[in-house]
Structure 1
Amino acid sequence: MYTNGTIKILVTNQKGGVGKSTIAVNLAAYLAIQENIKVSLIDMDPQASSSRWAKKAPDIGVQVHCLDVNYESSGAALLSARSGVRKYSSGVEVCICDLTWTPAMSEQFILDFDMVLVPSSNSKFEMASTEIFILKYAQQCMSRLAVNKQFILVVPSKVEEGYSSHATFTNLDFLMNCQITPPVYRTPAIDSYVYEDFLCVCPDQKIAENFSIFGKYISKKIIERNIVRKSISISGNSLNRAIVKKVSVLDDYRERARGLNFYGGIANTLPVSELKDEGSTEHRLKKVGLVPSFLRRGDN
């Protein structure tokens, strides 16, 4: 189906409990069952939730691997992660990696993937955290993003039926190739299928239809990505300027969070004036550092 090499998908977020493992394993199952695609699933999380689910459920032909990352240093982490992905993505059409993001891993690793799926609930706290995570990555890797046109897909996860993505994640609107996928609903019935079956073919019709809509969307994006990889023509410089201009929303997050006293790290250690008075947005952000990996309540 794909003639331009393995399509690599990273399912990640810095926040736990947002459905990364559920999405990773069930997306692998959907592609294997419904799209007849040869898939490998690489579980990089210590809890090994997605690989355990895939191994306990009926065998559908997905290649399942657990990858222990060496976090002794950022260099070692990047090297071991890249080596494992290279090894376990060989000989398949699509490779899906499940990873809870940690600052110990270099953002360069995210750039290795064709598509990045970032699950997030629709709570204001988690949406802000997800936006900051993606904006930080975009700012630090803007040149490469301009070249490879990587797809960044926000997945509304564990949301209630009737959820609408309208007017959500608005700080990401300017990013080319950043889109919001169909939602994956929250339902207690999903728990009965963990380790037992896959959501796209489970007996609960609502659950099966909901995840199949999401899976079909990703399947189309995979085909689209495969086409894009063959003809990359975007102007890197123009996208760089756009990102440099727009990531100033990170400053706004810092300032608002300081006033609410719920945000730690640099927002509480530097006066706002220091974040605003030193030349271009790009220079300021590189000098003082970007927001920490996730929003957290201050100690004071």
Structure 2
Amino acid sequence: MPTFCIPVQDGGVGFDYRLHMAVPDKWIELLKQSDESWKMGDIVHTLTNRRWLEKCVTYAESHDQALVGDKTIAFWLMDKDMYDFMALDRPSTPRIDRGIALHKMIRLVTMGLGGEGYLNFMGNEFGHPEWIDFPRGPQSLPNGSVIPGNNNSFDKCRRRFDLGDADYLRYRGMQEFDQAMQHLEEKYEFMTSEHQYVSRKHEEDKVIIFERGDLVFVFNFHWSNSYFDYRVGCLKPGKYKMVLDSDDGLFGGFSRLDHDAEYFTAVCPFLNAMHSLLVLFLHLLI
């Protein structure tokens, strides 16, 4: 429906926003693969592939995952480890550490590139471990086949919002990160900025770098490589400071970056940008 968000007087349907439904479908597709095989260009293309001047609401997780029939993003990433290793009073596992890190990055890159609005879906903000399933009996289809029900069970008929509020669980850090993302948008209003430019989508480095408004976003999806003095092109010259770090201990990270560090640009053209700066960022795998 190409006229969905065109004003009625111009022959359109007149809605202000369209749901960017291709994004959660892409994450479902990618989560069924090893993240080592993810293509940075493919991710960027899906997030930015929308009509010019058509505003979109983007989201990382949808009913296809959160409702019966699939798994939530968190459960795809961490699976059964979520049942035993999400308490802070016991050691974590590499699967949990990696899953929490990827969950935060998936949400932020979706919010950063995917549209002009961002939607959470039924516990995505803190990484709900399970799907939701309403009580239901068997359903007969016109072709004669029958979809089995769940014996009208209420077992999965709830969202565990208490998990995100529990300060003794790792879900709390994931929820804190979601709040920090919202505060970042509230302060800088990057989602409604006209300036959006992807400067790097490097398949070997597994790096995505883009500008949105006054911010420069840097993502390292590599499973083992950290980068020191990595050159990042930028439109605006001057001094840059870190305003959001997914590795912050508050968000369940390991606090390995200096938040007080200042980064100064140089007149060093890089990847079609007149200015650039050197940054440090870490690999995904702990």
TM-score normalised to the size of structure 1? 0.28
Determine which structure has greater relative contact order: mean sequence separation of CA pairs < 8 Å that are 6+ residues apart, divided by chain length: 1
Q: Which one has the bigger helix percentage?
A: 1
